[in-house]
Structure 1
Amino acid sequence: MEIGHHAVLVHMGGKLYFSPLEQKKVQKVLDIATGLGLWAVDFADEFPNAEVIGTDVTPIQPSWVPPNVQFEIEDCNQQWTWPANTFDFINLRGLMGVVDDWNALYRNAYRVAKPGGYVECYTTSSRFLSDDGSVKEGSSLDQWGRVFREGGKKLGRTFSVYEEDLQRKCMEAAGFVDIEFKDIQVPIGVWHPEKEEAEKGLWWKLAVEADLEGWINYMWNAVLGWSPDEVKAFARHLKRDLNNPKIHGYFMGRVAWGRKPE
């Protein structure tokens, strides 16, 4: 998770958010599915006068955190427990395969956002692409996305948030205005000739490799019923392809943000 957090930071040019936040106006912030709480802690350091609440279904967050951070057990798929008009900023990051109903998620966010408050969502595409055809159909990089999309359908939790344009559609349906997007192409691996792009690719390669068998065992084995031998073989092929400089794979990331009308 730490590597993943850093990979997203590199992806976003070192920024924790793209919403046009004003330091003096941000008093209360909500980080949904906070995980280890790394984003919440970093945001609290940048906004020392704001109260930052991170929520997750598992209590895996650190106990030593800035005084303006607190963590709560909360399932984002249930009705949110905070009163209406509570938060100046709501952060939704990496929720692919987590959310049961994206429209309900944004309705919850709209209700608890203050008038004039922002919601921001970071997601990635579920496909590895290449402009030169080096990510071949049926390859491990191609299968990676296919399996997550198939598994997401079985779980009832889509991994195709980017492809289905759910950020925009659900923000509009909930009532948010001034919706903006930033799409970022990110190489996977270190093949890119430009140093900055190669750094993005390195961190994302490390993020995937860090819990490769955990991801695969969950989706491939538990959800789709692959055998342990099939899982191990796929992991070997994927790691090989991630480290092959002749494969010029990339994915798309999208940051989308919108404002609750005043």
Structure 2
Amino acid sequence: MSTSNNQYVEVDGEENDSDSALGSDTQSITTSIESTIKNHRWEHGRRYHNYEDGAYPFPNDELEQDRLDLMSHMMSLILGGKLHLTPIKNPTRILDIGTGTADEYPSADVLGNDITPIQPRWVPPNVKFEIDNVENDWPNRRNYSFIHCRCMPCTISNWPRLVEQCYEHTETNGWAEFQDYDLVPYSEDGTLKPDNYITKMYDLLIQATKAGKMEPSPGPGLEKWLRNAGFKNVHHEVFKVPLGSWPKDPKLKKIGIINKAQFEDGLDGFLLRPYTKMLGWTNEEVQVFLAGVRKAVSDKDVHTLFDL
């Protein structure tokens, strides 16, 4: 079954210049972890992972980890406080691709997979982490009752193969859930123009990501990849994610405020490696461009949306 949210997002006509509604929300092992993996690389003042250097184009420093915490909070709001939409009640073995926490299912064995070694030291006793590239061939293990994969744009080169491996390692009557973006921004009222810095930023990021042979926008392809891999009972749902505090709806407004906060916090990390390594820009050129993006994202007359 495929469903989408086609309701028009209404603009708040009484919007002011304050984002104070966010409040405290913004303040708020396959390979053994040896020194070669724990070590990091530094570029342009940002820290990057060392294991299979280049497989993940974004930083892993504290600034990026704080941004990912905001993303996690935003995703919870989008999903109505849920971690996932899959109607599974008592999973016994869970694989979380990209890693998260496991307090939702304390009786399940949870394996968190990530390519960068930034996992917390203190975790629930039912959780284990591994450092590995999920695109490599998976080891022969007992299958999972639930596989969860979220927000992996610009990081996977072969999505059909990844989904196939998920299918091959899901137990009979098990579930898999993928939550991901279409990175092409748009507006329903025509306020986001082709020459807007936000539009240009994502056009260039998509160009750079494709030059690096990664998929920038996995969201639109997920349903097809799941069906082709053999999954049954596939449900596809699309959520509109605003950028900024312009929506009238209180829930969408809060989502938009948090999205704007994580967007602004992540701008350096989003663009530095892709633009310098794939497009040949200098760090100075990136910073000048980012000034235009920051100005554009503060324009409350532009009503930018993304599909998730």
| Aligned pair partner of 1:15 in 82, 87, 95 | 82
- Show the 5 A alignment for 1:229-240: 229-240=284-295
State the 4+ residue runs in structure 1 displaced beyond 4 angstroms.
Answer: none
1:76 positional shift: 0.7
| Aligned pair partner of 2:235 in 166, 180, 203 | 180
Cα deviations across residues 231-252 of structure 1 (Å, max 9, x unaligned)? 1122111112212211111111
- Show the 5 A alignment for 1:137-176: 137-162=194-219, 165-176=220-231
> % of aligned pairs identical?
28
Q: Distance in 1 between matches of 2:261 and 2:234?
A: 32
Aligned-partner SS, 1:46: coil
Counterpart of 1:259 in structure 2 is none
Counterpart of 2:73 in structure 1 is 6
- Show the 5 A alignment for 1:86-125: 86-125=143-182
Contact persistence 1:90–1:120 (CA under 8 A): yes
1:230 positional shift: 2.1
Cα deviations across residues 142-175 of structure 1 (Å, max 9, x unaligned)? 112211221121111111223xx32111111111
The aligned amino acid for 1:102 is W
1:70 positional shift: 1.0
Aligned-partner SS, 1:77: coil
1:62 positional shift: 0.4
> Whose strand proportion is higher, 1 or 2?
1
Contact persistence 1:33–1:93 (CA under 8 A): yes
Quote the RMSD (CA, aligned, Å). 1.3
The aligned amino acid for 2:124 is P
Q: Distance in 2 between matches of 1:82 and 1:198?
A: 45
Aligned-partner SS, 1:179: coil
Cα deviations across residues 200-233 of structure 1 (Å, max 9, x unaligned)? 1011111111121121111222221122232112
Counterpart of 2:94 in structure 1 is 29
1:21 positional shift: 0.5
Contact persistence 1:126–1:148 (CA under 8 A): no
**Gaps in structure 2 of 5+ consecutive residues:** 1-67
The aligned amino acid for 1:216 is L
The answer to whether structure 1 residue 128 and structure 2 residue 179 are counterparts is: no
Contact persistence 2:205–2:271 (CA under 8 A): no
**Gaps in structure 1 of 5+ consecutive residues:** 254-262
- Show the 5 A alignment for 1:242-253: 242-253=297-308
1:32 positional shift: 1.0
1:82 positional shift: 3.7
Aligned-partner SS, 2:238: strand
Cα deviations across residues 123-150 of structure 1 (Å, max 9, x unaligned)? 1111111122211112111112211221
Q: TM-score, normalised by structure 1?
A: 0.88
Aligned-partner SS, 2:189: coil
Contact persistence 2:114–2:131 (CA under 8 A): yes
1:87 positional shift: 0.4
Cα deviations across residues 88-125 of structure 1 (Å, max 9, x unaligned)? 00011111111121111011101111011111101111
Q: Name the count of aligned residue pairs.
A: 241
Q: Distance in 2 between matches of 1:81 and 1:87?
A: 13
Contact persistence 1:89–1:117 (CA under 8 A): yes
